[in-house]
A and B are shown apart, each in its own frame.
Chain A
Amino acid sequence: MSAQIPISTFKPYRGEKARLARAYDYLILVLALFLFIGSFHLHFALTVGDWDFWVDWKDRQWWPLVTPLIGITFPAAVQAVLWDKFRLPLGATLCVAALLIGTWVTRVFAYHYWNYFPINMVLPATMIPGALVLDTLLMLTNSLTITSIFGGGAFALLFYPTNWPIFGMFHQPVEVANSQLTIADLFGFQYIRTGMPEYLRIIERGTLRTYGQYATPLSAFCSALLCSLMYPLWWHIGKWFATTRYLSKI
């Protein structure tokens, strides 16, 4: 900080190899982007996809519980490498952004333009805010434990509040044929899905042990605990996937 050397004395190397290293950055970025879209999206769609596809699956009990739990996996694995090896504090955001690109492209070009489901019915949820907190916490603390506990918790707790501005409007009640429905329910009944009978939805139906309006925060805090455990597990899975070992035969 105290050195007073004029900038002009520095002559950064701008030769061929510097330019190559830059080109290599782009190649890595493109590979990472598409590979993470592909594998994260596959993982996400087949484990919590239905909640993410349909507006009438986005309930208070299951959606905020399972989505962050499944969503924190790849971010943790990629952070383990990008942060530890390269000190790049963007592993989680990269993964979540990649997932959103993948889902949006499919919702628009397959769900909407191929099969004519309205975009409002198939909006993907966002996990960007949680991912930003996760990346920032890891960068500031440089600690797996602290990021697991507080980052994992924040990832789950932020999920519902940050999605509420997107999906809140679909919870307006309407009266249809003497029944009370939400707009989201109505979407589900109106735009026919051949393989999705109503009973298939895994959503909150109430129990005799549910008290008041606690469903959402309960799910969020339950998810927060599970995310705190999922995060280090996937951190180590990521570590393992990043090893460089050679076998002599297979």
Chain B
Amino acid sequence: MAATTESVKADAAEAPLLNQKNLWAGISLYLVFYSFIRWYEGVYGWSAGLDSFAPEFETYWMNMLYIEIVLEVLLFAGINGYIWKTRDRKVMSITPREELRRHFTHWTWLVCYGWAIYWGASYFTEQDGTWHQTIVRDTDFTPSHIIEFYLSYPIYIITGSASFMYAKTRLPTYHEGLHLMYLIAVIGPFMILPNVGLNEWGHTFWFMEELFVAPLHYGFVFFGWAALAVMGVVNTEVMAIAKLLKKDLA
């Protein structure tokens, strides 16, 4: 990766093909934000998150839920709206060099998507398992659920949709038609969020115990598989980038 920095130096006037600053900024953004969230739940999970009928729960947790939902809707609309409005209307006529640059920007988005999926599907999901074993919940909106379902899932959904929108509006590779696996890789994990509806209905009216492997949870699993469709995107990307680079690498 350092290599690309050198290539940039060679032609300082030109924008870098891989903008490492954006890449690191993107990765750091999630890291710093989620580290803050982990600290917040560490402190206020224990001091304000144990009794959902207490006023401090309203202050520290329900308010967080309301704020994050509003912000997520605004972010989703803002980011996707911006990417759509600034779309390249003559995308088929860009130079190979510009195309390569956009592929790398696209990869910055994809890396952020993978990173966001990690936090949502791995860290905060399994963390919910341990919070279930620490409290007997008295609401569907436990501190852990407020973070897992209504914060970390929407964040990776926003990142994934933005990634898809970027590819669709800026890259010739995705100009014709809709890449099926890309759709699955973005919409599948998105469906994990609506599946919360099934999950909470089941837990509320039918199945009380917190068996993590209960069949009630399999909906999440099924939609989680869809992230594997990124392999189709990788195949497409490798073909596209190889076409742009192979003359020199032969």
- By a beta-carbon cutoff of 8 Å, the part of chain A in contact with chain B is 13, 15-24, 26-28, 30-35, 37-39, 41-43, 45-51, 53, 74, 77-78, 81, 85, 102-103, 105-106, 109-111, 113-115, 117, 122, 193-197, 200, 202, 237-238, 241-250
Contacts and interface: CB of A to CB of B under 8 A. Distances in A.
B241 interface: yes
A33 B126 contact: no
A105 B129 contact: no
Contacts of B179: 244-246
Contact of B18 (A20, A43, A47, A114): A20
B235 A19 contact: no
Interface residues of A, dominant DSSP? helix
A39 B130 CA distance: 19
Given A39-B227, A39-B228, 5 more contacts: A23-B4, A24-B104, A38-B224, A42-B220, A241-B184
Contact of B232 (A21, A50, A243): A243
Given A46-B213, A50-B213, A77-B228, A24 B123 contact: no
Contacts of A42: 121-122, 125, 220-221, 224
A246 B209 contact: no
B61 to A, nearest CB: 15
A156 B248 CA distance: 45
A245 B130 contact: no
A26 B1 contact: yes
B177 interface: yes
B151 to A, nearest CB: 15
Interface of B: 1, 3-4, 6-7, 10, 17-18, 38, 41-42, 45, 100, 104, 107, 110-111, 113-115, 117-123, 125-127, 129-136, 176-181, 183-184, 189, 209-213, 217-218, 220-221, 224-225, 227-232, 234-236, 238-239, 241, 245, 248-249
B188 to A, nearest CB: 9
Nearest to A248: B177
Given A35-B117, A38-B122, A45-B126, A243 B180 contact: yes
B232 A34 contact: no
Nearest to B192: A42
Contacts of A30: 111, 114-115
Query: Which residue, A32, A46, A114, has most C-beta atoms of chain B within 10 A?
Result: A46
Nearest to A27: B107
A140 B135 CA distance: 50
B176 A246 contact: yes
B107 A244 contact: no
A115 to B, nearest CB: 5
Contacts of B45: 114
Nearest to B46: A114
A80 B2 CA distance: 31
B224 A115 contact: no
Nearest to A16: B7
Given A31-B110, A45-B126, A102-B122, A78 B231 contact: yes
Given A17-B245, A196-B133, A244-B236, A41 B126 contact: yes
A247 to B, nearest CB: 5
Given A20-B17, A81-B235, A195-B133, A102 B228 contact: no
B134 A194 contact: yes
A237 B224 CA distance: 13
Contact of B117 (A39, A50, A103, A110): A39
Contacts of B238: 85
